[in-house]
Amino acid sequence: MQRSLIIGLLSALLLVVFALQNSDPVVLDFIIGNPVEETPLSLVLLVTIIIGIFVGLLLSYPTLKKLKTNISDNNAEITKLTNILEEYKKEYGIHKNKNEEKKQEEKPEEK
């Protein structure tokens, strides 16, 4: 938590210093339409970074969704196999492993 707060504050400080250093006006000339004049360079770069972040998030969404689906499938498989293992233990009279037996022996029953 503290590390992310420090990183966020340092990033904000760098952004402020960057904006103060790059306040020169620039002319934006798009392919279609009239050029936009007297736009601060820092504003142009900030808008470009924000657009890049959104495009990156949109392009990574299908991969994230696929990974979440894989995690859900794996959790369901783990639950299924755990149930099968418990049934197997009941069927063949296997109750607990040695570590669990030792813990039960060390811990007296409470009534």
CA 48 to chain centre: 23
Q: What is the pLDDT of residue 99?
A: 60
3-state secondary structure of 1: coil
**One-letter amino acid of 105:** E
Q: What is the pLDDT of residue 28?
A: 84
Tens digit of pLDDT for each residue in 34-62? 888 888 888 888 888 889 889 988 999 99
Domain boundaries, the chain: 17-106
Distance CA 102, CA 73 (A): 34
> Where do we find the tokens 């030792």?
102
Q: What is the pLDDT of residue 111?
A: 46
Q: Hey, what are 93's tokens? A: 């009279």
Distance CA 42, CA 37 (A): 14
Q: Give all strands (DSSP E) within 5-99, no chain letters.
A: 25-28, 36-40
Percent of the chain with pLDDT over 90: 30
Please say whether the beta carbons of 104 and 110 come within 8 A: no
Low-confidence ranges of the chain (pLDDT < 70): 1, 96-111
